[in-house]
Structures are given as C-alpha cells and as structure tokens.
Structure 1
Amino acid sequence: MTQENWDAEYDVVVIGAGAGGMAAALTAKIEGLSVLLVEKTDRVGGSTAVSGGAVWAPLNAQSEKVGHPDSFEKVWTYMRNTVGDAAPAALQEAYLREGAGMVDYFEKHTAVRLVARSYSPDYYPDREGAAMGGRSLDPAMFDGRELGAKFKELRDPLPEFMVLGGMMITMTDARHLLAVTKSFKSWREGMKLVLRYFGDRLRGYHRGTRVVLGNALAARLFKSVLDHRIDYWLGTPLQKLERVDGAVTGVAVTRQGRTQRVKARRGVVVATGGFPWGEALRSEQYPQPSGPWSMSPQDNRGEGITLAREAGAVLGQGHTNPAFWAPVSVLQRPDGSVTRYPHLVWDRAKPGLMAVNGAARRFVNESTSYHEFVRAMYHSHQTVPTMPAYLICDHDFMEKWGMGLALPGGRPREHLVKAGYLSKAPTLRALGQALGLDGAALEATAARFNTLAEQGRDDDFGKGSTAYNRYLGDADHQPNPCLGPLRKAPFYAVKVVAGDIGTAVGIACNAQAQALDDAGRPIRGLYMAGNDMHSVMGGEYPAPGITLGPALTFGWIAGRHLAQQAAAHDQ
C-alpha cells in the first residue's frame, strides 16, 4: 500500500472526543507522536461534558492531605468486595496501580486539575476496604473564556444542570441559592454566581462561562488539546477501521461530505462512548423492559464497538450489568421534544420521599446509589410491576427540595402537572388512584413509612443506614438525615423508568487497553478507551467516578503504549 492511497497520515488517530479519547490523544502527543482527534458530532466533550464529572482515582497524592490515607491493600480489598470476578483481575489491578500516575501526569502536562473530596463515601461504605473520602476527585472550576471562540465547540451541559437558562451549578451552589434569604453567606455566594452569569450573557456568551462538573473536565481536556496543537476534525463520523494482515492501520471517515482515509502508523484508539442509543446492541445486551431513557448523548450509538468487532475484536464477558443504571423521569413537551431527568443525588435521599412499585409498596432503600435503585426496580419487576416506579412526597418536601424537574421554593409546577410529568392530589388515596395504583395500599405504605420516620430507623429497607446514604441526606434533619414523614397536602408523584448514564459492556481489552480477539490475543494497532472498552468494574458501581476514572486512566495507558510501539506498518 503506497502513501498515495491515504488522504492524511498520522502516528495515532483517536476516534471520539470525550474523556477517554482526549486523554489518549493528549498522552500520545505529549510523548512525541503526531495525533489526529476525530469527533462524529460538531461539539467536543461527549458524555463527559454532560456528566457529574467525578473521577475515582484511588491512591492519588491528595488522599492523605484531605484526611484519608489509603493503601493498595485497602482499595484492592474493596474492589474484591464490590466488583469481585465481574471484571478481569489484571485490569482491576492495572487501574488501581496506574490511576494515581494518570492524575499526576495530567496535572504536570495539561490544564486538567482534579481536587480530592475531603468527604465522599464509597457507595458501599460498610464493606471492608471502603473509604470515606479522598478517592473521588472533582474537576476544578474552569473559566470558559479561556477557550475564546472555541467555547462554542464545547458540548453544553444538560439543561437540568443549569439555572436561569444557562448558569451551571453544583450541589453546593444549589444549597446556597435555596438559602439566599436565610443566610448572609448564601446570599453573598448566590449573588456572585448570578452577577457573573448575567455579565457573561451581556458580553454575548451563549451561556455562563463559569464551567463546573463534567463540563469543566471536558473543557480542561479541550483546552489542553488546543494548547498542544492537536489536529481535530469535528462533524466527522467513523466509517471503517482499515486493516492489513489483521492489524488496524488507519481509518475511513466521512468529512465534508466525502470519504477520507487516514493512515495511523502506530495505531487507532476508539472511544466513541458506548452504545446507550444503539438499538441493535441494546436489544442484544439490555434486560427488558428498557427504552430510550439514557442520559448519554444520543449520538452514542455503538459504531466504535460495531466496527471494532468487524475488525476481529470481541465483547467482554462476565459482567453483572450491561449498563450503569439511573432512575430517570421523562417529560414529553407539547412541541414533541423529550426531557429526561436523572435522579442521581439530589432528591431521593432526602427526608420525606419514598418510592413505590405498581402495588403501591416500597421496594428499595430510596437513598441507595442510582445504580442499585434501578437494580432494585428490575428485581421487584420480576414479581410486581415496577416499570415505572413512583417517587412520592408531600408539600413540605416539594417546597424545600423539589423532585426531578419540579423545582422547590414555590416555583411554577402546573405545567408539569398538565404535561403528565408530575401528579398532584389532595390526599394519598387520591394520588394513588390518579397513578392507577391502589389508593388504600398507598395510604398504608405511607403510614408505615411515617412510623419508621418517627423512630428514625428504617427497619424495612434501611434508608439512611449507611454513611453514603447520610452524605446525601439533610444534615440538619435528625435523628436520620434521610428519613422524614409524608404528612402535608398536597401530595406529589413522579414516575421513574430504568435509565442509564452509559454502557458497561464493551470490547475486551488487556491491561494496555489493546482490543482482544476471540483467542484473547491483542489486535495490533487497535486500542479502546472510555465506554467502548469493557468496564473494568464489570457493570458494578463501587463509587462516584468509576466511568471517568477508567476512561482517563486507560486513555493515558493507551497513549503511552502507542508511544512505546514501533510503527506496525510503514509501507
């Protein structure tokens, strides 16, 4: 094959501009390789840009500084007690041993800045090896003005992560904004946010430039791509992985309306975001019922995985779940558009909310992780209809916390009632009937729930029984920050379905992020990262940040390994 057969030539081609793809591209470029970053959509950031942004990187240098000294033995014990044999032990060990180095590397060479949480329990804090903080890190706030005109090329966050039409907020920001009339500190912090935001809009920005959460991580990675002068093509979908003698030697993409073939002298990294919107792979891998309920970008349809399989790679096995689950509520708007809201960390753990199935009975610890909540939905659905399930609260809860898209503090909600998203009734019995449930059974369930709330201990499902539960509850509510009664009319309900925040099934890889064939041999020139790589967690969800942590780590590993390889095909 001669050079004239190629439209362009690089050492490395990376497909997908999310965390995994940008990590691989940056590492390869920093290590001296020429790199092309290819993105299907017209925006950079992928799933990372719409995520919460947490990065689980145990043993990072900040852990001890924030009061949580750690050890490999401790975190390895926790992995065995949560992930177990759901993922290859060699991959788990590689992740734990390399993650801290990844954090240091990007701190040194890029604009990525991650800050360890001083208190953030792992999701199963009662299992041996769990930590109460230090392992999960958040991206530092980023000033979008540093991107200049390129700010418009960064994927916008979910509208549900913004207020006032474009101002990003964290959980801490939300608490301040809800308390602006009750605390001078909250008023001051709230005014800073609002004044900064309106200043941005007056200067012509399409949204606020104070960037937080996963959008900040995507922005910092993108800033680093620009700083290191990495070539990138937007609006360029992958069509084919080119091969010679079984090795991947380049790609065919569609750019500006025509096919272009790009040679990759060292290899290709595929990081297209998994298949949460790919109907064929979903029907092959997901339990039923399922639906179009993912919170991932709708462009994540599994092309990377499909083309890797055509190139000889195989899917990983042994996982316990095909996706990382989250309960999602769905609003059908009058114009036909659909808004999905992920019930992750804000409402379910607060005192005064309970969840029921189709028999109007509780079926889960409402304050458990979003992944475990949906697992409980599927388990309950085996005997009682639990798709959808229902989140139930009273007037006081709604005014203080809100529920899903229904906002607190007296904000308008009737449009949500008219749209069928929010149910509202003067009594619990009437609410149950409006939902098509047994109203008397719902009353009885609430009466039992209130009794448990009065004693401050949930003997039925353990709401508020772990440090993780209580971390997300209301610290001012005692004795159990997660458990409170439903008493004051009107009463409200929101339906939730079994959504996800991304897929866990992907291409089987070794510890160098190389794709494997059906004999377990690495395919020369083909690497996977992000959700295209089979989850090192095996579909389990031990802690916040267990998708972005591996995405960054194995993207970094792939970039380093590529730099160490001799060119596979220099013909």
Structure 2
Amino acid sequence: MMESFDLIVVGSGAAGAMAALRGADLGLSVLIVEKAHQFGGTSATSGGVMWVPGHGLDGDQGDSAAEALRYLRSVIGVSVDAERLAAYVDRAPEMLRFLKDSGVPVMAAAWPDYFPDAPGARADRSIICPTFDGRQLGDDRYPLMRAQYSRFTLFRRYAMDLSQTFALMMQQRGWRWTAAKMIARYWLDIGTRRLSARDRRFTQGAGLMGALYKQVFARGVELRLETALEGLTLAADGRVSGITVRRFGQVQQIAAHHGVVLAAGGFEWNQALRERFYPVPGLARHSSTPEEGNRGEALIAAEAIGASLAHTDQGWWIPTMTLPAPGAANFHEIHQAAFDVGRPWSVCVNRLGLRFVNEATGYDRFGQAMVADQVKTGANMPCWLIFDAKFRAKFSAGGLMPTVHTPDHRIPGHWWDHYVFRAGSIEELARKIGIAPQALSETVQVMNGYAQTGVDPEFGRGGNIYDRFFGDPGVTPNPNLGPIDTAPFYAVPIDNGDLGTKGGLRCDAQARVLDGGGRPIPHLYAAGNCAASPFGDCYPGAGATIGPALTFGFVAAEDIAARAHEQQRMTA
C-alpha cells in the first residue's frame, strides 16, 4: 500500500520546519523530505535573523501594521500582490508569538532597516535567537544539523554568536579575551569532543533551526534525509495528492491527504534557470548558499503542473569573493563580503576605475548596483575592493583575514596577484588588476578628500544610521570613510553572490500556489525562497528572507489544517 500523511513538506529549512511544527501542533501527521544528507537547509547556515514588524516583544514599541506597510510601499520598486504583502505584515507577529509559545526563545535586536531614511523605517524589527545547545537534539541528530560555514566560526572551528562576531570583526576592546573564552569553552567540553569535532553551541542560523527542530521532533514529525523530490502527483479532480521522491536510486510515491508544502529553496545553483530569468545571470558558483543545494527542483515540479512564477529576475544579492579551500585541492570557497566593502580606508570600483555605489549600503542594494552598472558599462561583475595597509590591519576582505590573524607572510605565495593583489603604489596596483592607473589614482584621491570632510557628495556613504552601524566609530568625521594613503595597497575581486533567489512560485495570501490564471492549485502551497518574495525587488531589513519563510510556512499549515478539520467535521 502507498504510504500516506496528512501533510508532506518538501525541504527542511525555516519554511519547512515551521509548516511541519504548526501542522503537527494542529493535529496533522507530517512528513518532511530533504534531499541533502543533513537537515536545516540554507536557514541553518544563515545569520538566523527574522524581520518581523510589529512584533511587540518588549511591550508596545510604537510599531504598527500601517507603519510597516508605509515603509514597505516606499521601498518596493515593482508591482507586488498587495493582499499577500498585507497578510505578511498581519500574520508575522502571530507566527512569532506561536514560535515563542512553542518553546523557541526569541529576542529583538537593534538592527536598522536597510532603507533607514524611508518613511516608516525603524531599528527594532529584526529578531534573533540565542545560542542553542545542539546536543539537546540528541546525540544521533546533533551532527546531522547542517553546519555553519567557516566564515561564521573562529579559526574554522569555534562557533560565534552575533555579539562575538562583531566584537572580533571590529577588534573591539577585550576581543582577545572573548576569543580565549570561546576556545577554552570548546576544549573543556570533553564529552562532546569524544562525540564530534563540531561545536555543540549552535549560533545564528543554527541556533534558530536547532531550537525549532527540538520542537518539531517533540511533536513526532518524521524527517527523511537523502530523499529528493522527483515530481508532484495529481488526483483525478486536479488536486495535488502527493509527491514522487527518489532515495538512493529507488523511486517511491507518497500520498498527502490534505496538502503539500514546497519549501525547498530557490534556484540559485541552477545555471540554466539563472540564464533563463536573470538579466545578468552571474555564475551559480558565486552563490554563498550550500553548494549545489538549491537547484529549483520544486519550482520545476510545480511549473510542470501549471504553476505560475513571479519576480524571478530578482535575487537576494550579496557581494562575495573566492579563495582556495584550505586542505582540499581543486576546490574553492565562497566568502561573503557584505560589510567589508563599506569599511573606512577602502573604495569599490568597476573595471574602469570608477565608483558605482555607496559601498556601505545594504548588501542587496550593492548587488543591484553591480547588475545595473554591468548593464550600463559592461565593466562590472566582478568589481574591485581597493584598500590600504590600515584597512588590512583591522578588517577582513571577504575571506582574507586581517593581519592580526593572517599577516602577509602567511598568505600562500600562489594567492598573490591571482586571488589577492598587492603593490607599493595605487598606480602599480591598477596595472596589476587591469585598470587604467590614472583613473584609479583619481578615484582614490577624490575618496581621500571625502575622508577629510566626512561627506561623500556622490553616493552619500556613511550618511545614514545603517551605514554607520557597520562603520568604525573610532574613525572621524565619518566612520565609513578613511584616507587610502598607507602602503602597501591591496585589491580583491568582488563577485555578485547571493543568499538565494527572490523569485519563485506565485502564491496568494494563504500561501497557495497559483496557476497561470491566478487560481489556486488545490492542496499545493509554497513558502521560503521556493515562493516569490512578498517584497518583490526589495530587501527591507535583516531577516527579510527568514521572516516570510516562517510566516508563510505557518500560514500554509493553518490553511491546510482548517480545511482538513472542516472535511473531517462534514464526514463525521
């Protein structure tokens, strides 16, 4: 007999986990299928932040649905589904209350919205989870949660929470003591070291997903790894009745009595889909999401039964850079450079030696500027991050750690003038990276003038609270501007990477997948990057990927459960 569940969830990231948790909480039998060998999805590798306007965690914060919508309408640049956008603003606080009541600890963070000068912007809408003890999942499951990237760890081993990350990143007072405590705590945990080399402290995205999955497993949800979606099955009446999966070469059909939620991520690792949808496709290998993870299988399966798409020309952009993977020949590692590009003593230029963006802006807007400049000049993607010895001493440049961690003599010889460029003068550096020396020299001289006055009249770098949040408060008069005047000078190429795709299956306010005529496909739902973002082309604030993923996973489960309970009532 065919195996069956009330609800099947495809994908084990934040959207899928929430759909499973809420569905099980409402009495449904739930199965999660995940094609990878580990669970947690891209969410487990992320910063784990949730953007939830009007959350009310610390009492009345003065935020409201009207203010959030005013902000969103002022920053979204394309047409979006107004009902779906309003549903997000209305339901996100409800989702967060459920998450908290379920046993997942949450707290508000002082994180400015990404358009801080827009009407309705605030600095308290981003929500984080504290560190989670991974062994609470059980010693069999603890190693199976997808691990954080090395960029979220100290020395590729020790887990860092957000406060530790910023303390070490900015070399704040006491940062060496912070690092020492992290290292000591890890090695004194002898019991865990006997089990695994992995740090038991799950931080950032892993902290969120660890706490979430503790509750998912407590409710008896079944999770199957190495189980890839092959297609959706339809009943004679046109409703989605289940899925076809492949596990170790064996194909199986599983029935879903009341619904299927597609939560399997976007399509950033599918180069053919990038070529189909993006005006400037970029390369899949520049993505900062798990390699070969999100290839759009759910989108393809839904499109095959008539689903429509929206906003597929948009990505959750972030600047990245590439370095060889330590200890592994012929492999490379992608490093995020989200905040590095806006630090003082640096400038970003295209291959004409010209600036094209406020380097300290939100990372998604930085990526959008790269795309626009590439369309305009053909001289971007990659662009170049140029910096001097002062920057090199204090800040990272993507995967290039500051000199306190990685002095120049420790950089492998074959990296120089291939991955990292160094010269005694700006003109010599320009020649090495193929930029006209006069053009780059003039740009640097202009930036040095801006550093003296503290004002960037071209792009306004350091002119708002978001820029300054990631600047260096010890640099005056502008924490994001400092003279690029101390040899040696350095350059690294910056690619337009991503945190996933913004576009996907077109859904309504109930998270139901819509066909080409705008009608819901019965029993089919989508959430997370598998679905088109409610924000269209916009990244409104930290956590704007995970916030909607959790919310519409929650909404989908509620709609499915309500329909299931009504059906049971009518047949009783």
TM-score when normalising by structure 1 = 0.93
Counterpart CA distance in 2 for 1:179 and 1:483 is 15
* Alignment match of 1:196 (pick from 172, 175, 185): 185
C-alpha spacing 1:417/1:99, structure 2 compared with 1 (3 Å): farther
On the 8 A contact 2:114/2:541 being kept in 1, the answer is: yes
Is residue 21 from structure 1 mapped to residue 19 from structure 2 by the alignment? no
Tell me which moved more, 281-290 or 271-280: 281-290
Describe how 1:498-513 pairs up with structure 2 within 5 A. Answer: 498-513=496-511
Is residue 367 from structure 1 mapped to residue 360 from structure 2 by the alignment? yes
Is residue 303 from structure 1 mapped to residue 297 from structure 2 by the alignment? yes
Is residue 136 from structure 1 mapped to residue 130 from structure 2 by the alignment? no
1:415 corresponds to: 411
Counterpart CA distance in 2 for 1:457 and 1:93 is 38
Q: Identity over aligned residues, as a percent?
A: 36
Give how far 1:569 is off.
10
On the 8 A contact 1:62/1:134 being kept in 2, the answer is: no
1:86 corresponds to: 79
Describe how 1:201-280 pairs up with structure 2 within 5 A. Answer: 202-244=193-235, 245-280=237-272
Q: One-letter code of the match for 1:228?
A: R
Partner SS state of residue 223, structure 1 = helix
On the 8 A contact 1:39/1:232 being kept in 2, the answer is: yes
2:550 corresponds to: 552
Q: One-letter code of the match for 2:473?
A: A
Structure 1 gaps, min length 5 = none
Deviations 1:268-305 (A, max 9, x none): 11111110011222111112251121112222100001
Give how far 1:186 is off.
3.9
C-alpha spacing 1:569/1:31, structure 2 compared with 1 (3 Å): closer
On the 8 A contact 2:322/2:399 being kept in 1, the answer is: no
Give how far 1:473 is off.
0.6
2:333 corresponds to: 339
Deviations 1:374-407 (A, max 9, x none): 1111222222501210001101111111211111
1:520 corresponds to: 518
Counterpart CA distance in 2 for 1:177 and 1:379 is 34
C-alpha spacing 1:230/1:336, structure 2 compared with 1 (3 Å): same
Describe how 1:58-457 pairs up with structure 2 within 5 A. Answer: 58-62=53-57, 64=59, 68-83=61-76, 85-109=78-102, 111-117=103-109, 119-131=110-122, 133-149=123-139, 150-177=141-168, 183=173, 185-200=174-189, 202-244=193-235, 245-292=237-284, 293-297=286-290, 298-316=292-310, 319=311, 321-333=313-325, 335-345=329-339, 347-381=340-374, 382-410=376-404, 411-413=406-408, 415=411, 418-419=414-415, 420-457=418-455
On the 8 A contact 2:49/2:127 being kept in 1, the answer is: yes
1:49 corresponds to: 44
RMSD over aligned CA atoms reads 2.1
On the 8 A contact 1:247/1:525 being kept in 2, the answer is: yes
On the 8 A contact 1:249/1:569 being kept in 2, the answer is: no
Q: One-letter code of the match for 1:36?
A: L
Q: One-letter code of the match for 1:453?
A: A
Give how far 1:170 is off.
3.7
Is residue 31 from structure 1 mapped to residue 26 from structure 2 by the alignment? yes
Partner SS state of residue 114, structure 2 = coil
On the 8 A contact 1:16/1:37 being kept in 2, the answer is: yes
On the 8 A contact 1:327/1:498 being kept in 2, the answer is: yes
Structure 2 gaps, min length 5 = none
Q: One-letter code of the match for 1:258?
A: Q
C-alpha spacing 1:540/1:169, structure 2 compared with 1 (3 Å): same
Give how far 1:217 is off.
1.3
C-alpha spacing 1:555/1:270, structure 2 compared with 1 (3 Å): same
Deviations 1:231-256 (A, max 9, x none): 11100001121101210011111234
Give how far 1:349 is off.
2.2
1:460 corresponds to: 458
1:478 corresponds to: 476
Counterpart CA distance in 1 for 2:469 and 2:309 is 36
Counterpart CA distance in 2 for 1:323 and 1:230 is 32
Counterpart CA distance in 2 for 1:384 and 1:64 is 50
C-alpha spacing 1:370/1:417, structure 2 compared with 1 (3 Å): farther
Give how far 1:85 is off.
4.6
Counterpart CA distance in 2 for 1:540 and 1:257 is 40
Counterpart CA distance in 2 for 1:216 and 1:196 is 17
Give how far 1:29 is off.
0.2
C-alpha spacing 1:409/1:105, structure 2 compared with 1 (3 Å): same
Q: One-letter code of the match for 2:467?
A: N
TM-score when normalising by structure 2 = 0.93
Counterpart CA distance in 1 for 2:67 and 2:12 is 34
Deviations 1:184-242 (A, max 9, x none): x5454333212112234644422211121111112122222221121111000011211
Counterpart CA distance in 2 for 1:433 and 1:25 is 56
Q: One-letter code of the match for 1:505?
A: G
On the 8 A contact 1:530/1:548 being kept in 2, the answer is: yes
Counterpart CA distance in 2 for 1:16 and 1:63 is 32
Counterpart CA distance in 1 for 2:170 and 2:296 is 43
Partner SS state of residue 386, structure 1 = coil
Counterpart CA distance in 1 for 2:78 and 2:378 is 30
Q: One-letter code of the match for 1:369?
A: G
Counterpart CA distance in 2 for 1:134 and 1:38 is 35
Partner SS state of residue 431, structure 2 = helix
Counterpart CA distance in 2 for 1:567 and 1:533 is 26
On the 8 A contact 2:527/2:553 being kept in 1, the answer is: yes
Q: One-letter code of the match for 1:415?
A: I
C-alpha spacing 1:320/1:42, structure 2 compared with 1 (3 Å): closer
Deviations 1:305-359 (A, max 9, x none): 100111221112xx394211111111245711011111113x1222111101111
Count of matched residue positions in the alignment of Structure 1 and Structure 2: 556
Counterpart CA distance in 2 for 1:230 and 1:95 is 26
Counterpart CA distance in 2 for 1:102 and 1:416 is 48
Tell me which moved more, 205-214 or 227-236: 205-214
Q: One-letter code of the match for 2:44?
A: A
Counterpart CA distance in 2 for 1:177 and 1:467 is 21
Describe how 1:486-497 pairs up with structure 2 within 5 A. Answer: 486-497=484-495
On the 8 A contact 1:28/1:560 being kept in 2, the answer is: yes
Partner SS state of residue 527, structure 1 = strand
